[in-house]
Amino acid sequence: MNFPVTIFTDNNISAAKRSLRKRLHQLFSSKWLLSNHESSRRIVRLEEPVSGCTPLQWLQLQSHPVKVYWSDRKHDFESAGIGFSDVVKSDDEEQHNLKLLGIKQKLGDVSGKAKYYGGMRFNSKTEIDEHWLPYGSCLFILPQFELYSDVSGTHLACNIIIEPGQQAFGKLQYILESLDKVQIDEETTAMQEGIAQFTRKDTPEKKQWFCIVDSVLDILKSGKAEKIVLGRSTLLLFDVVIKSVQLMERLKRIEPVAYHFYIQPEEGNAFIGASPECLYKRHGSFIQSEAVAGTCPRGMTLEDDRRLGEALLQSEKNHREHICVRNNLKSLLENCCQSLQIEDIKLLKQAKVQHLYSYVYGQLAESISDMDLLKLLHPTPAVGGLPRDRALQDIDKLEPFDRGWYAGPVGWIGHDMAEFAVGIRSALITGSTLRLFAGAGVVEGSKAQLEWDEMESKISAFMNALGKD
């Protein structure tokens, strides 16, 4: 039987590494470990309380080529990780269920704070462009070291996988050498402020975008689809290598009301974002999700902001787009929930835009797993369209770029909990290149220019983080 074990100790930031080293020695010399590691595979997690450093500050100090970061929209949980104790990766959609099932088996049957962080491609059936190859079709990482904050405080954690028959001494030495390279300091490096010099190329360019929207409107008029979400890739080429963790920090400051994520599978390659949209959150059998569709800018004044929000609530086009997403989510969850509630439409206000928002929650049927939920809920009509299969076909045919992980599920899986955001308001960093992604839902009555302007609003937080107003 595989199961995680969490061991807590007490210490401050200056002694955290020393205390963790001591506990590692104790663990690998314990009779419990020596007597059990031959017959079972387990995740052991050691934790040390720390102070004086946030997870994102800590992540900026680390030189490890593998990094992950996650924070939820309400700031209840934040975690940064480096290295990997385990990696689950798939390059084929048919392997997804087996890979995700493998994560659940590794986490086992008892409670623990160990989590696998990662995500999946928007469409696993399409060909992968070269710049998305490090991510595969599906990638989840159990970090070797992790600094996280939740209601219990801030802790430095070490995740260890004990394999049957593994030599304890060799494993201990490897972990101790990795621990020596972990930096914990109350001071952070200087922030890389705005990166002014870059060239820009949109795919599709504006003229092509107008043609694509016209094609979609013809499809909608024929009755073959109700909604199709079109995306755009904006390529920014800089004259310096982008400091991606620092860009993540600036993005979080500019756009605080979001799910923030950062997945770096190798040096110089990171997928980052500040998404407004929860795909789902599960705690035991309780599930919460939301419909987010319909967008307008924020106002320059309180009165202007209120007026824009009221206009969004009254907009026939945006209301139709939102109801499309809301009704679809409701019908999907009704099939797998014992009970379900959906609240009235409200406004979700972010730094640069505001959305129509509906909160949904319920009690899952006993047999429903995270694999079932991901397959059921992704892609939502807010990032794909309706009917789903027809919309995916049209997106693949009409969009002149590979979405990769853009608009795919990004989040984490734990023993009895999971949380995923929709990977929108996101970007892919490769060295000195930044690819920004944005989309717009096309329904009957959509105007190409207005949808283009909406996408500009959606990348504005990134542009501000880069020092561009």
Per DSSP bridges, beta strands 153-162 and 198-203 are: unpaired
CA-wise closest residue to 328 among 278, 369, 289: 289
Q: Is 17 among the catalytic positions? A: no
Whether residue 204 is preceded by a cis peptide bond, meaning omega within 30 degrees of 0, is yes
Let me know: does 226 contact 394? Beta carbons within 8 Å: no
- Quote the crossing angle between the two packed helices 316-334 and 370-377, to the nearest 10°: 150
Let me know: does 448 contact 209? Beta carbons within 8 Å: yes
**Coil vs helix vs strand at 86:** strand
Structure tokens at 342: 């959906």
List the catalytic residue out of 227, 252, 281, 352.
227
Residues with Cβ within 8 Å of 248's Cβ and at least 6 positions away in sequence, in order, are 56, 69, 260, 262, 270, 272
List the catalytic residue out of 48, 277, 399, 419.
277
Q: Is 343 among the catalytic positions? A: no
Let me know: does 461 contact 251? Beta carbons within 8 Å: yes
CA-wise closest residue to 28 among 162, 218, 143, 137: 162
Structure tokens at 87: 């990696």
Q: How far is CA 73 from CA 187, 281, 345, 448, in A?
A: 26, 12, 19, 31
**Coil vs helix vs strand at 369:** coil
Written as one string, the DSSP assignment of 22-79 is HHHHHHHT-HHHHHHTTT--EEEEEEEE--S--HHHHHHH---S-EEEEE-TTSS-EE
Exposure class string for 78-100: b at 16+ Cβ within 10 A, else e: bbbbbbbbbebbbeebebbbebb
Distance CA(8)–CA(237), nearest Å, equals 45
Catalytic residue annotation: 227, 277
